[in-house]
């Protein structure tokens, strides 16, 4: 690995994409990389081990500077090259269960996009809505599902897990936990993403620094908010998302529309931050919708897309020259270059005969044929004149390829933190995020009201009403089958986008997330039935024996865990709450009917249904615990009848209790295993 000083000098890059017969002769852009004073700082948190002693000493002597350690130079520059990138999607009719007989058609979303971005450069992707900017950005981040053709290299090598860990990706929609505060959000990200050699306090300090650096101090203790309740503003949310990525000091930072919906000052501030990050030696790529000319001036390079095809790829400052060399002049004297580019990408070519006639220019919006031919002409001009230049630049600077990827953080090491550390942080974060939902008054009210109502309905019901008592036990098994099942269904579909985002950046293992999620749900899942049973059991007049009560409670808790497992599995397999709840209600209805309470003479060809019903096993165990085999009950005759002869109990058959326990245990493990496998299969690799 190169010493830091040497690396920084190497960051002075030259992006030379000329000359060509059409383009200006001096087609050379030099971007000198340096840490900008506004966001420069002393040491890089991730470079602690690679810093020389002198640097550490210097940092200690400069406390004021070291506070912004996180935003200083990247010591692991990445040169990103992409050539002839193409991507198609198949347009199959989704959402129906019946396959369409029509042949599948495909749509080309990207077609032959080429470019180079070096450390220290800020590249903007411009183009009309739907032109493929997000798709290209996602492809460059190595997160696009399906096959991407063409070549994308990072320091000359293909995408790898070390690149993944050194890449920051900020998606268009901010995926954040709504109930956490800004400080909590960034602190948890720091605890999960920063390497284990930093202490917990140091990680928290880094989160604080990011808050200061991104101007989030005012809202540091405000909750992020979501669709159901208001939190911080859209601009602040965006900055929190950027902050989460900046924490790891990524070598490559990709952002999808970081300024959309923001006022021009905030947008300017964000782009200035990005430019500062780039100048610190990072490679920064952003898509942007309609940048003002002030913003445009901050870009080093641009790629302009029109319907997935590039019409320009090169230095931002040369864009007008290029299009003028093709004979396209902006219609107005002081036109924002970005507006001009977007018009061109839409096929709106200024008419040189009546340049100032704005009305005439916009009247041509309706002329689709003209627009299409203008786009085609721009695409073929790009292929003829600019494409060979970009390709030769990719091949000419072959020394970029020799920067060893092994110097990147985390190469060889798969995770930055241990399994246990991940589990602890995820558990705490999950409890904090979901405490409002789990311990909500509404949920407690729901359970309490049902328990009191059923206690009153079965008030002191003794064995002389054995049918009613058995009914109460069946109700326990069904209610504590339905309730946890429907709660668990939401778990994974609700967290899907967060899981994809965090797993895509290699933040934690799936197993640590999975166990943390299960452990986090456990207290509430176990406390609720305990309260319920304590109320209903004694009100309902079941056997007044502490041992029987405890055994009844254990069986119900076991049933809760099994039904929760089924809910988790359905949610993980379908990843769609609507589909999963539909399937769950059908399943529970089958379990209800086949449980052995309502129908005792099920035809043999369908009697097997009860064997897959956990409610059936639970019901059997509850009855078995309540009534020992030799117990009698008041059946209205001269002498007590044996409970074993009561038809509903006789049908159940109370032998082989351990088989029932074994069946429930298999379901407990099986459903959870199924949920884990389904989750893993749906994960980005
Ligand atoms: N998986 C997919 N299935 C169907 N169409 C897709 C898929 N992915 C992308 N597309 C289509 O490809 C085109 C490019 O999409 P993309 O999101 O990259 O555009 P964009 O330039 O980022 O748009 P915007 O600026 O509106 O976000 C769009 O027309 C989109 O509908």
Distance 268 CA to ligand 1 centre (A): 26
**Residue 39 token pair:** 């966001």
Count of other CB atoms within 10 angstroms of residue 233: 16
Q: Which residues pair with 79 in a beta bridge?
A: none
Q: CA-based angle 383:124:404, to the nearest 5?
A: 85
Distance 307 CA to ligand 1 centre (A): 10
Residue 89 has pLDDT above 60, yes or no: yes
pLDDT value for 363: 53
**Looking at the whole model, is its pTM more than 0.80?**
no
Q: Which atom of ligand 1 is nearest to the CA of 132?
A: 18
Classify residue 13 as left (phi > 0), alpha (psi -120 to 50) or beta: beta
- Alpha-carbon distance values, 212 to 215, 223, 239, 307 (Å): 5, 17, 11, 40
Distance 287 CA to ligand 1 centre (A): 13
Cβ distance 213 to 182 under 8 Å?
A: no
Distance 232 CA to ligand 1 centre (A): 28
Residue 60 has pLDDT above 70, yes or no: no
pLDDT in tens, 467-518: 788 888 888 888 898 888 998 998 899 888 899 888 888 889 999 999 999 9
3-class SS of residue 594: helix
Ligand 1 binding pocket includes 171 (Cβ within 6 Å): no
Closest CA to 494 of 581, 376, 422, 414: 581
Closest CA to 267 of 251, 249, 244, 290: 290
**Residue 50 token pair:** 């690679």
Distance 11 CA to ligand 1 centre (A): 34
% of the chain at pLDDT higher than 90: 29
Of 42-56, 165-179, 652-666, the poorest mean pLDDT is in 42-56
Among protein residues, the one whose CA lies closest to atom 13 of ligand 1: 130
DSSP per-residue codes, 9-55: HHT-EEEE----SSS-S--EEEE-----TTT--S--GGGTTTS-HHH
State which of 131, 285, 338, 341 you would mutate to test the pocket of ligand 1, scoring each by most atoms of that ligand within 8 A of its C-beta: 131
Residue 652 has pLDDT above 80, yes or no: no
β-strand pairing of 309-315 with 301-306: antiparallel
pLDDT value for 154: 92
Distance 553 CA to ligand 1 centre (A): 53
**Residue 603 token pair:** 């035809």
Residue 465 has pLDDT above 80, yes or no: no
Residue 316 has pLDDT above 50, yes or no: yes
Among protein residues, the one whose CA lies closest to atom 12 of ligand 1: 109
How far apart are alpha carbons 171 and 175 in whole angstroms? 8
**Residue 349 token pair:** 């070519």
Residue 69 has pLDDT above 60, yes or no: no
pLDDT average, residue stretch 451-458: 87
Distance 129 CA to ligand 1 centre (A): 8
Distance 499 CA to ligand 1 centre (A): 22
Residue 216 dihedral angles phi and psi, to the nearest 5°:
-105, 10
Of 219-228, 295-304, 384-393, 623-632, the poorest mean pLDDT is in 623-632
pLDDT-derived band of residue 227, with 50, 70 and 90 as boundaries?
confident
- Alpha-carbon distance values, 538 to 357, 449, 472 (Å): 87, 15, 12
How far apart are alpha carbons 226 and 236 in whole angstroms? 13
Closest CA to 529 of 500, 550, 508, 505: 550
Closest CA to 530 of 551, 500, 557, 498: 557
How far apart are alpha carbons 94 and 100 in whole angstroms? 9
Distance 604 CA to ligand 1 centre (A): 54
Closest CA to 137 of 120, 157, 152, 156: 152
pLDDT value for 332: 62
Ligand 1 binding pocket includes 132 (Cβ within 6 Å): yes
pLDDT average, residue stretch 336-358: 70
How far apart are alpha carbons 163 and 248 in whole angstroms? 12
pLDDT value for 37: 36
Distance 341 CA to ligand 1 centre (A): 19
Distance 165 CA to ligand 1 centre (A): 26
pLDDT-derived band of residue 226, with 50, 70 and 90 as boundaries?
confident
Q: Which atom of ligand 1 is nearest to the CA of 137?
A: 18
Among protein residues, the one whose CA lies closest to atom 7 of ligand 1: 89
Cβ distance 648 to 470 under 8 Å?
A: yes
pLDDT-derived band of residue 6, with 50, 70 and 90 as boundaries?
very low
State which of 134, 136, 138 you would mutate to test the pocket of ligand 1, scoring each by most atoms of that ligand within 8 A of its C-beta: 134
Ligand 1 binding pocket includes 347 (Cβ within 6 Å): no
Among protein residues, the one whose CA lies closest to atom 1 of ligand 1: 89
Among protein residues, the one whose CA lies closest to atom 29 of ligand 1: 130
Q: Which residue has the tokens 């809202």?
A: 219
**Residue 253 token pair:** 């930072």
pLDDT value for 52: 34
How far apart are alpha carbons 588 and 316 in whole angstroms? 61
Q: Which residues pair with 87 in a beta bridge?
A: 110
Angle between helices 546-574 and 614-626 (to 10 degrees): 180
pLDDT value for 348: 77
**Residue 363 token pair:** 């009247």
Cβ distance 426 to 516 under 8 Å?
A: yes
pLDDT average, residue stretch 512-529: 89
Ligand 1 binding pocket includes 135 (Cβ within 6 Å): yes
pLDDT-derived band of residue 399, with 50, 70 and 90 as boundaries?
low
Residue 573 has pLDDT above 50, yes or no: yes
pLDDT, the chain, mean? 79
Residue 30 has pLDDT above 50, yes or no: no
pLDDT average, residue stretch 549-572: 93
State which of 133, 302, 310 you would mutate to test the pocket of ligand 1, scoring each by most atoms of that ligand within 8 A of its C-beta: 133
Ligand 1 binding pocket includes 109 (Cβ within 6 Å): yes
State which of 109, 111, 170, 304 you would mutate to test the pocket of ligand 1, scoring each by most atoms of that ligand within 8 A of its C-beta: 109
Higher pLDDT residue, 220 or 348? 220
Residue 682 has pLDDT above 50, yes or no: yes
**What is the domain class of 80-90+106-407 according to CATH?**
alpha beta
Higher pLDDT residue, 307 or 443? 307
pLDDT value for 228: 80
Residue 51 has pLDDT above 80, yes or no: no
Residue 443 has pLDDT above 60, yes or no: yes
Cβ distance 112 to 309 under 8 Å?
A: yes
Question: In the chain, what are the domain boundaries?
Answer: 80-90+106-407, 419-681
DSSP label of 382: I
β-strand pairing of 28-31 with 13-16: antiparallel
pLDDT value for 670: 95
Q: Which atom of ligand 1 is nearest to the CA of 287?
A: 22
Contacts of 605 (CB under 8 A, 6+ apart): none
Among protein residues, the one whose CA lies closest to atom 11 of ligand 1: 109
Among protein residues, the one whose CA lies closest to atom 10 of ligand 1: 109
DSSP label of 312: E
CA dihedral 423, 428, 430, 431 (to 10 degrees): 140
pLDDT value for 543: 81
β-strand pairing of 632-633 with 80-91: unpaired
Ligand 1 binding pocket includes 148 (Cβ within 6 Å): no
pLDDT value for 248: 82
Distance 489 CA to ligand 1 centre (A): 30
Among protein residues, the one whose CA lies closest to atom 17 of ligand 1: 134
How far apart are alpha carbons 192 and 507 in whole angstroms? 6
Of 30-34, 146-150, 367-371, the poorest mean pLDDT is in 30-34
**Residue 37 token pair:** 């004073």
Q: Which residue has the tokens 């245990």?
A: 665
Closest CA to 276 of 232, 242, 244, 315: 242
Residue 109 dihedral angles phi and psi, to the nearest 5°:
-95, -35
Among protein residues, the one whose CA lies closest to atom 28 of ligand 1: 130
Cβ distance 237 to 174 under 8 Å?
A: yes
Residue 108 has pLDDT above 60, yes or no: yes
Angle between helices 614-626 and 577-594 (to 10 degrees): 40
Residue 162 has pLDDT above 90, yes or no: no
Residues counted in the chain:
685
pLDDT-derived band of residue 140, with 50, 70 and 90 as boundaries?
very high
CA 125 to chain centre: 23
Distance 376 CA to ligand 1 centre (A): 20
β-strand pairing of 80-91 with 301-306: unpaired
Distance 131 CA to ligand 1 centre (A): 7
Among protein residues, the one whose CA lies closest to atom 2 of ligand 1: 89
Among 266-270, 275-279, 639-643, 644-648, the range with the most confident prediction by mean pLDDT is: 275-279
pLDDT-derived band of residue 333, with 50, 70 and 90 as boundaries?
low
Residue 33 has pLDDT above 50, yes or no: no
Distance 136 CA to ligand 1 centre (A): 10
Ligand 1 binding pocket includes 133 (Cβ within 6 Å): yes
Among protein residues, the one whose CA lies closest to atom 27 of ligand 1: 129
Residue 26 has pLDDT above 50, yes or no: no
Distance 116 CA to ligand 1 centre (A): 22
Distance 89 CA to ligand 1 centre (A): 10
Cβ distance 415 to 426 under 8 Å?
A: no
DSSP label of 640: P
């Amino acid at each position: 690995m190169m010493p830091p000083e040497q690396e920084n000098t190497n960051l002075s890059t030259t992006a030379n994409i000329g000359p060509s017969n059409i383009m200006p002769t001096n087609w050379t852009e030099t971007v000198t990389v340096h840490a900008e004073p506004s966001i420069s700082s002393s040491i890089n948190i991730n470079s602690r081990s690679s810093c020389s002693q002198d640097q550490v000493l210097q940092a200690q002597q400069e406390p004021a500077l070291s506070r912004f350690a996180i935003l200083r130079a990247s010591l692991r520059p990445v040169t990103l090259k992409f050539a002839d990138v193409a991507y198609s999607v198949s347009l199959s009719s989704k959402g129906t269960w019946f396959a369409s007989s029509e042949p599948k058609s495909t749509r080309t979303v990207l077609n032959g996009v080429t470019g180079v971005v070096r450390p220290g450069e800020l590249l903007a992707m411009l183009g009309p809505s739907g032109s493929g900017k997000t798709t290209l950005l996602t492809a460059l981040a190595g997160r696009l599902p399906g096959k991407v053709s063409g070549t994308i290299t990072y320091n000359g090598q293909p995408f790898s897990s070390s690149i993944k860990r050194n890449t920051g990706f900020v998606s268009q929609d901010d995926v954040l936990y709504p109930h956490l505060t800004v400080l909590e959000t960034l602190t948890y990200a720091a605890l999960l993403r920063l390497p284990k050699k930093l202490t917990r306090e140091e990680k928290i300090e880094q989160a604080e620094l990011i808050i200061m650096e991104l101007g989030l101090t005012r809202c540091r203790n405000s909750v992020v908010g979501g669709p159901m309740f208001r939190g911080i503003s859209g601009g602040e949310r965006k900055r929190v998302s950027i902050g989460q990525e900046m924490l790891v000091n990524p070598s490559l930072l990709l952002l999808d529309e970081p300024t959309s919906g923001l006022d021009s000052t905030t947008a300017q501030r964000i782009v200035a931050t990005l430019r500062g990050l780039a100048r610190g030696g990072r490679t920064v790529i952003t898509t942007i919708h309609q940048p003002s000319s002030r913003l445009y001036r901050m870009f080093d390079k641009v790629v302009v897309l029109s319907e997935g095809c590039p019409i320009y790829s090169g230095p931002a400052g040369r864009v007008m020259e290029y299009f003028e060399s093709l004979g396209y002049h902006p219609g107005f004297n002081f036109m924002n270059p970005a507006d001009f580019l977007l018009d061109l990408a839409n096929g709106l070519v200024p008419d040189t005969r009546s340049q100032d006639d704005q009305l005439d220019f916009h009247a041509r919006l309706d002329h689709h044929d003209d627009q299409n031919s203008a786009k085609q002409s721009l695409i073929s001009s790009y292929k003829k004149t600019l494409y060979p230049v970009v390709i030769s630049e990719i091949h000419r600077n072959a020394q970029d390829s020799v920067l060893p990827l092994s110097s990147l953080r985390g190469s060889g090491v798969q995770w930055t933190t241990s399994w246990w550390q991940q589990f602890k942080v995820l558990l705490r974060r999950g409890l904090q995020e979901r405490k409002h939902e789990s311990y909500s008054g509404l949920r407690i009210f729901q359970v309490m009201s049902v328990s009191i109502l059923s206690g009153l309905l079965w008030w002191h019901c003794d064995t002389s009403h054995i049918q009613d008592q058995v009914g109460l036990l069946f109700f326990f098994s069904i209610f504590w089958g339905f309730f946890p099942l429907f709660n668990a269904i939401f778990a994974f579909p609700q967290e899907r986008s967060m899981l994809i985002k965090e797993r895509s950046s290699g933040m934690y293992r799936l197993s640590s997330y999975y166990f943390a999620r299960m452990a986090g749900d456990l207290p509430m899942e176990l406390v609720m039935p305990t309260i319920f049973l304590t109320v209903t059991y004694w009100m309902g007049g079941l056997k007044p024996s502490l041992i029987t009560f405890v055994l009844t409670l254990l069986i119900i808790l076991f049933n809760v865990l099994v039904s929760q497992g089924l809910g988790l599995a359905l949610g993980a397999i379908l990843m769609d709450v609507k589909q999963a709840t539909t399937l769950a209600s059908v399943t529970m209805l089958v379990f209800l009917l086949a449980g052995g309470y309502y129908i005792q003479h099920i035809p043999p060809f369908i009697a097997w249904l009860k064997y897959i019903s956990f409610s059936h096993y639970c019901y059997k165990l509850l009855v078995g615990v309540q009534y020992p085999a030799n117990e009698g009950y008041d059946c209205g005759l001269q002498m007590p009848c044996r409970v074993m002869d009561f038809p509903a109990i006789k049908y159940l058959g109370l032998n082989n209790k351990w088989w029932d326990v074994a069946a429930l245990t298999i379901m407990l493990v099986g459903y959870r295993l199924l949920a884990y496998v389904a989750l893993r299969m749906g994960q980005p690799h």
